Amino acid sequence: QVQLVESGGGSVQAGGSLRLSCAAFGYTSSIYCMGWFRQAPGKKREAVARIYTDDGTTSYTDFVKGRFTISQDNAKNTLYLQMNSLKPEDTAMYYCAADFDTRCRRTPIPEFRYRGQGTQVTVSS
């Protein structure tokens, strides 16, 4: 089992920055994929970014490219999402997710096996 705990959300003005953290506990040594997805009220879940823990390869959804950066600190079992140039449309609950199976490379981030409780990000104009 893996537990994921997000932190770092909050309220900022447009153009501001936030850094989200996701601490992983439990059987973390076998995690292969980690990522972030978000969901705004009344909207579908959206993948944001992912990282593969073996080689650090990252990928981003188009609407965050150049603004968000996903990274990992393996020593601390922590995943990060640095969010810059935030826009009001980035307002959502942000979730951390993880999966063990290498097939997760082809799995949408919201469908990863484990997810946290989420942290709210609110961007005002």
Residue 125: per-residue pLDDT: 94
> pLDDT tens for residues 9-57?
999 999 999 999 999 999 988 899 999 999 999 999 999 999 999 889 9
43-101 confidence digits (pLDDT tens): 999 999 999 998 899 999 999 999 999 999 988 899 999 999 999 999 999 999 999 98
Strand partners for 121: 10, 92
Looking at residue 74, its pLDDT comes to 86
37: left (phi over 0), alpha (psi -120 to 50) or beta: beta
Retrieve residue 60's tokens: 């981003």
Considering all CA atoms of the chain, what is the largest pairwise distance in Å, rounded to the nearest integer? 41
Tally of CA atoms within 13 A in the half-sphere of 22 that contains its CB: 28
